[in-house]
Amino acid sequence: MSDVPKIELRNVCKAFGKKVILDNLNLSIMAGESLVVIGGSGTGKSVMLKCILGLLKPESGQILIDGEDITNANTHKREQILRKTGMLFQYAALFDSLTVWENVAFGLIQAHGMNRKDAKDIAIQKLALVGLGPDLAEKHSAELSIGMQKRVGLARAIAADPEIIFFDEPTTGLDPIMGDVIDNLIRDCTQDLGATTLTISHDMESAQKIADRIALLYKGSVVWAGLASEIHTCGDPYVEQFVHGDVDGPIKLDILKP
């Protein structure tokens, strides 16, 4: 197995004006690994993901995919990289005007240039993997429950058999049972593909189900990273505070006292 990380962030810094959001962030994810980045609101999780996706540009540091520095990649290079990736957005982000299968097949047709018939066949296979039958394929996404929309979003994320999948808060807005169903689907689908996954989440239970490793982000840096199985025994004060949701501890909330 290659020892080059699939995704690597080296000393990534990102600020908006004087406000530093990512502060020398270092993170590595090996091929086939599932890493979940947890952390409180405003700690920079989404900004980190946007930097990796090329939607934001870091002031300094490097972002590497398969050992290749993509920090300053041009549009053509970025499109090439994005073709290797899939993404499940926080609220599934389906197109209301398209049918379920067209949503799943969107990237296959638009980014991979596949014809509609082949793309539809693949979309129906991927829908089956997330437990949705072909009868649903012709419905519009607005007709589906939130849990079903998440499944469709997952089918879309895996449609092109990506090497890397990003999950943004995959269980937010779901009840605990549907959250569990989605966590299991994420684990099974990504393991079957052998994909490398990066998930951002607040949800500790979900993180433990889908992660091989967990990294805790605080003020734009990783303050702890380790195996998901170690999270309750590591004794790290940041982790303990986050896991137990304590107000007291090294993590300070940025709220003004009345």
Ligand X SMILES: Nc1ncnc2c1ncn2[C@@H]1O[C@H](COP(=O)(O)OP(=O)(O)OP(=O)(O)O)[C@@H](O)[C@H]1O
Q: Which is nearer to ligand X, 104 or 217 (CB)?
A: 217
Region near ligand X per CB under 6 A, out of 44-52, 92-100, 156-164, 221-229 = 44-52
257 binds ligand X (CB under 6 A): no
Q: How many Å separate Cα 106 from the centre of its chain?
A: 19
Of 45, 120, 126, 156, the residue at the interface with ligand X (CB under 6 A) is 45
Find the largest Cα–Cα distance for the chain: 61
39 binds ligand X (CB under 6 A): yes
Within 10 A of 5 (CB to CB), how many other CB atoms are there?
18
How far apart (Å, rounded) are the C-alpha atoms in residues 51 and 89? Answer: 15
Residues 6+ apart with CB under 8 A from 256: none
Distance in angstroms between the alpha carbons of the first and the last residue of the chain: 55
Beta strand residue intervals within 45-195, DSSP E: 60-65, 68-69, 85-88, 164-168
At residue 76, the 3 state secondary structure works out as helix
Q: Which is nearer to ligand X, 45 or 150 (CB)?
A: 45
47 binds ligand X (CB under 6 A): yes
Residue the block writes with tokens 């939607």: 55
Residues 6+ apart with CB under 8 A from 1: 30, 31
Of 7, 25, 38, 44, the residue at the interface with ligand X (CB under 6 A) is 44
233 binds ligand X (CB under 6 A): no
Q: Which is nearer to ligand X, 50 or 112 (CB)?
A: 50
21 binds ligand X (CB under 6 A): yes
Q: Which is nearer to ligand X, 39 or 107 (CB)?
A: 39
Q: Which is nearer to ligand X, 50 or 187 (CB)?
A: 50
How far apart (Å, rounded) are the C-alpha atoms in residues 248 and 112? Answer: 50
Site string for ligand X, 189-208 (x = CB under 6 A): -------------x------
Residue 172 DSSP code: T
Of 24, 26, 28, 46, the residue at the interface with ligand X (CB under 6 A) is 46
* Min separation Cβ 212 and ligand X, Å: 21
* Min separation Cβ 70 and ligand X, Å: 20
245 binds ligand X (CB under 6 A): no
Residue the block writes with tokens 């099974």: 188
How far apart (Å, rounded) are the C-alpha atoms in residues 180 and 184? Answer: 6
221 binds ligand X (CB under 6 A): no
* Min separation Cβ 207 and ligand X, Å: 13
Q: Which is nearer to ligand X, 45 or 120 (CB)?
A: 45
Within 10 A of 103 (CB to CB), how many other CB atoms are there?
26
Q: Which residues bind ligand X (CB under 6 A)?
A: 16, 21, 39, 41-47, 202
